[in-house]
């Protein structure tokens, strides 16, 4: 009796591909999500006028000024957002060695929403190296700002991890596809039973009877419907 080869990807291969996708995808997701959470949710808010000290990494930063609010409920939403008022003379950033960091105006094209408060990008500056920087805001009538790494700069920093994550998702899709295809094919394919001189039967085997000995011996051998017996004639 000879068993036909079962087509389709093996279960072990499918599991290995899925495991690789998870091992690559989970760290990639963390590397992408954490920086954006830092920008949107955890960057400190400073009441103005005022002074604070921040631990900043190298990169492009923006000063987001509170410009409005959003609200609503029960399907009714409203918002009020004004123009930024901060100028380069309003904010001073001092490096750990006491030297000033150059400030410049930026387009009001980035916003951060926390609860009902809306913050709009007003100024930008570049941090050359990680350190403790002093941020001072003066000449204002009172308000709030957020000093955070630029959303665009953050996206650029995590772009390699986004690409790696996309590759991990593709790997997961391939793994699950192999698993499904293999399961379906193995479920549909029967194991053939080959009797010398006869046609192959399905996995259930031929009906019980005497058939030519598959070992090549003289005479016949009894097939009980599931396996060869030791009865020969």
Domain residue spans in the chain? 45-152, 190-232
Query: What pLDDT is attached to residue 64?
Result: 93
pTM to 2 decimal places? 0.62
Query: What pLDDT is attached to residue 191?
Result: 47
Rounded-to-integer distance, Cα 79 and Cα 115, Å? 12
Those residues whose C-beta lies under 8 Å from the C-beta of residue 3, and which sit 6 or more positions away, are 191, 192, 193
pLDDT (tens digit per residue) in 204-220: 567 888 888 877 778 88
Query: What pLDDT is attached to residue 153?
Result: 84
CA diameter of the chain? 110
Query: What pLDDT is attached to residue 185?
Result: 76
Rounded-to-integer distance, Cα 212 and Cα 65, Å? 90
Question: Which residue ranges of the chain lie beneath pLDDT 70?
Answer: 1-8, 72-75, 139-141, 186-205
Query: What pLDDT is attached to residue 61?
Result: 94
Query: What pLDDT is attached to residue 27?
Result: 94
Token duo for residue 228 = 């060869």
């Amino acid at each position: 009796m000879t068993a036909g080869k079962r087509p389709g990807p093996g279960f072990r291969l499918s599991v290995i591909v899925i495991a690789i996708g998870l091992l690559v995808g989970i760290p990639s997701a963390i590397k992408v999500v954490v920086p954006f959470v830092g920008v949107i949710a955890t960057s400190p808010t400073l009441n103005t006028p005022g002074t604070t000290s921040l631990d900043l990494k190298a990169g492009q930063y923006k000063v987001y000024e509170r410009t409005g609010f959003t609200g609503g409920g029960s399907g009714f939403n409203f918002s009020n957002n004004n123009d930024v008022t901060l100028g380069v003379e309003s904010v001073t950033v001092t490096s750990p060695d006491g030297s000033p960091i150059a400030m410049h105006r930026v387009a009001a094209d980035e916003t951060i929403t926390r609860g009902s408060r809306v913050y709009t990008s007003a100024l930008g500056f570049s941090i050359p190296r990680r350190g403790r920087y002093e941020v001072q805001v003066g000449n204002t009538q009172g308000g709030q700002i957020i000093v955070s790494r630029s959303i665009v700069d953050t996206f650029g920093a995590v772009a390699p991890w986004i690409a790696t994550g996309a590759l991990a998702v593709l790997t997961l899709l391939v793994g699950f596809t192999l698993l499904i295809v293999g399961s379906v094919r193995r479920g549909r394919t029967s194991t053939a039973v080959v009797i010398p001189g006869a046609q192959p039967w399905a996995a259930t085997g031929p009906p019980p009877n005497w058939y030519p000995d598959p070992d090549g011996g003289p005479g016949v051998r009894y097939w009980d419907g599931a396996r060869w017996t030791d009865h020969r004639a």
